Amino acid sequence: MQRDIKALTEREYDLVIIGGGIFAACAAWDAALRGLSVALIEKHDFASGTSANSFKFIHGGIRYLQHADIMRLKSSCNERSAMLRIAPHLVQPQPVIIPTYGHGKSGKFFLGTGMLIYDLLTLGRNRGIRDPKRQIPWTRFYTKQEVLQEYPGLDQNGLTGATMFSDAQMYNPTRLVLAFIKSAVARGAQVANYVEATDLIREGSQVVGVQAMDRLTDTPINIRARVVLNAAGPWSDWLLEKALPETKPERNVYSRDACFVIKRRFSSPSAIAVQGRTKDPDALISRPARHLFLVPWRDYTLVGVWHVVWDKHPEQVTVKEDEVQDFIDEMNWACPELKLETKDVCMWNAGLVPFGENEEGADNLSYGKRSHFIDHKQSDGLDNLVTLIGIRYTTARGDSAKAIDLICSKLNMRKCKTATESTPLTGGDIADFEALVQQAYQQQSLGLSESCVRALVHNYGTEVQTIIELAIQDNTLADTLGDTLVIKAEIVNAVNNEMASTLADVVFRRTDLATGSNPGESVLNECALIMSKLLTWDEQEIQRQIENVLQRFPAWN
């Protein structure tokens, strides 16, 4: 991956995609696989918005059984299976335990029956998943004693046991976005981060390209294309307001979905779901309240998810300390044995997704259910412009395929179906993840720990040898940074081969350095020094880069 701004301006593309999150990345991969000439531009860095701030789950749709939405259930399950097939290094099954108290609707047999029905509705969920450890198992029932072995601190009063189902978890959401983008580049797509779409180029009632600004050089450019896909997530509305002043399109209503990373790691490998204070108004059959989740992830635990209507600009998304305290209070109310404190929170993640329709001031909120597709020829009389605003990370591959179907029809191309649900992404052609880890560990002669090699294989898959070769050429690049599992070769690779331009790009989105917590100023300084030699930063710029990164961590830590 090389950033080539000149190449963006030298030809007319079949498709230019605005946005660099998971929906834009999937669209670029799908379109490139169909043979379209594709350009993709992102205002900030790839996966720097909502995609970087997800709960790291690929949902199989089990909760849609409560809504009797079988089509959506099966679609979500299919998308989860696809991710397990094409990126087994970045997506893996995650068991979830739901403790039950009492009987009837609150009991484990009622809940478990629903889960078994889900299992029957999704019998093909493991088709084509080569690695047995990446396959989704059947529902399991726990006795009271068994669930207490997993989570001994649970309230035992009225506890009747638990049921367990499995979903899927992302090891690193930003690297998964990057895997889609790198796959598109390998098929000929031209991509660039830090290029902002400022307006559309129009000829009469047709869109023929995008006016943009290279934010690294403050250079305006024009990118010509037969069709434009606006896939900038919550930024899409703001671009449309500027580009379509005559129709004044309404902004969508967004939810700020927030979760938190805490420094504790419980002994159980299973996530646990506890009942919060709000209900699901869309559920036809429901437990007393929505679930909040505690999910093991690397050396941390993820806690969430909370939803708030957000009517401000996407650039202003944040989570305040008093809000964190409210969330902690609810979690401690739901699970008193946790005894969480604000200081336990080492990172917050929050992104914007389309919301459902709710009355003002409602406590029990209806969440968005489906992605927004807009053919602007139908809505605004402006042809060759399509907007896709995604609803969930899970649905990105399938929904982007629908958008590319529409775009192919505008290009008068046959809607040839591509096998994006089974074609491995860059680094993802893996039949047995554990075997690949052991092979990489045993063959490397750098003295790297098995944990370090495992982290490398998670992030790079079959491309792990690229990183190891860099370290072989310069043994100093085999050193880890501080107490992390990140080696210096990853920093060099991020700058030279993955378009990393800032310290934040590297520590938050190319490596594991700061995805869970602040690695410390000494680690940040060491990383910045490596980058400074590649990007010719002076001491003042190094300090500016470090300060920008430090602003992202919670102020209360």
Model confidence pLDDT, tens digit, residues 234-251: 999 999 988 888 887 778
pLDDT (0 to 100) of residue 555: 78
- Residues 337/155, Cβ–Cβ less than 8 Å: yes
Cα 122 to the center of its chain, rounded Å: 24
For residue 231, which of 410, 77, 349, 406 has the smallest C-alpha distance? 406
38 preceded by cis ω (within 30°)?
no
- Quick check: helix, strand or coil at residue 45? coil
**What is the CATH number that goes with domain 76-171+253-354?**
3.30.9.10
CATH number belonging to the domain at 5-50+174-251+370-410, selected among 3.40.1010.20, 3.50.50.60, 3.40.50.10800, 1.10.3720.10: 3.50.50.60
225-239, 252-266, 505-519, 527-541: least confidently modelled range: 252-266
Mean pLDDT of 151-166: 91
In this prediction, residue 123 carries a pLDDT of: 96
The Cα 266–Cα 300 span in angstroms is 8
Check residue 334 and give its pLDDT. 83
Identical fold for domains 76-171+253-354 and 433-550, yes or no, is no
Read off the amino acid at residue 240.
Answer: L
pLDDT-based confidence at residue 284 (cuts at 50, 70, 90): very low
Give the residue, 105 or 63, on which the prediction is more confident: 63
Who wins on pLDDT, 179 or 275? 179
Mean pLDDT within 418-428? 95
Is the whole-model pTM more than 0.85?
yes
Averaged pLDDT for residues 377-393: 92
CA dist list (Å): 119 to 77, 78, 125, 126, 509: 10, 13, 9, 11, 35
Pick the range with the lowest mean pLDDT from 107-121, 177-191, 492-506: 107-121
Q: How far apart are CA 20 and CA 40, in angstroms?
A: 7
Predicted local distance difference test score (pLDDT) of residue 262: 93
Mean pLDDT for the chain?
92
* Beta strand residue intervals within 119-270, DSSP E: 140-142, 159-170, 190-192, 195-203, 206-214, 219-230, 254-262
Average pLDDT over every residue of 413-427: 88
Give first-to-last CA distance, the chain, whole Å.
Answer: 36
Per-residue pLDDT, averaged over 456-473, amounts to 97
Structure confidence at residue 206 as a pLDDT band (50, 70, 90): very high
Contacts of 120 (CB under 8 A, 6+ apart): none
> Is residue 62 classed as helix, strand or coil in its secondary structure?
helix
Query: What is the pLDDT at residue 288?
Result: 54
Round to whole Å and give the CA distance between 368 and 296: 26
Classify residue 555 by its DSSP letter. T
pLDDT at 358: 44
Q: Is the pLDDT assigned to residue 420 strictly greater than 60?
A: yes
pLDDT at 370 over 80: no
Confidence band, pLDDT 50/70/90 cuts, at residue 283 = very low
- Point out which residues pair with 372 in neighbouring strands: 389
Residue 212: CB partners within 8 Å, gap ≥ 6? 8, 41, 195, 196, 197, 198, 220, 221, 222, 223
Query: How much is the pLDDT for 148?
Result: 93
DSSP helix/strand/coil, 145: helix
Tell me the domain boundaries of the chain.
5-50+174-251+370-410, 76-171+253-354, 433-550
pLDDT in tens, 290-341: 788 999 999 999 998 888 888 899 999 999 988 999 988 888 888 887 888 8
Is residue 427 scored above 90 in pLDDT?
A: yes
pLDDT computed for residue 333 by the predictor: 86
Pick the more confident residue, 276 or 345. Answer: 345
Q: Which amino acid is at 102?
A: G
Q: 433-550 in CATH: which number? A: 1.10.8.870
Which residues on neighbouring strands pair with residue 387, listed in sequence order?
230, 374
Residue 145 has pLDDT above 50, yes or no: yes
Q: What is the DSSP string of 247-283?
A: T-PPPPPEEEEEEEEES---S-SSEEEEE-S---TT-
User: Would you say 193 and 499 are in contact if contact means Cβ atoms under 8 Å apart?
Assistant: yes
Report, as an integer, the average pLDDT of 58-66.
Answer: 91
Which pLDDT score is estimated for 102?
A: 84
Q: 44-48, 289-293, 306-310, 391-395: which has the highest mean pLDDT? A: 44-48
Is 138 exposed, middle or buried (CB count within 10 Å of its CB: 0-12, 13-18, 19+)? exposed
Taking the C-alpha atoms of residue 489 and residue 469, their distance in angstroms, rounded to an integer, is 9
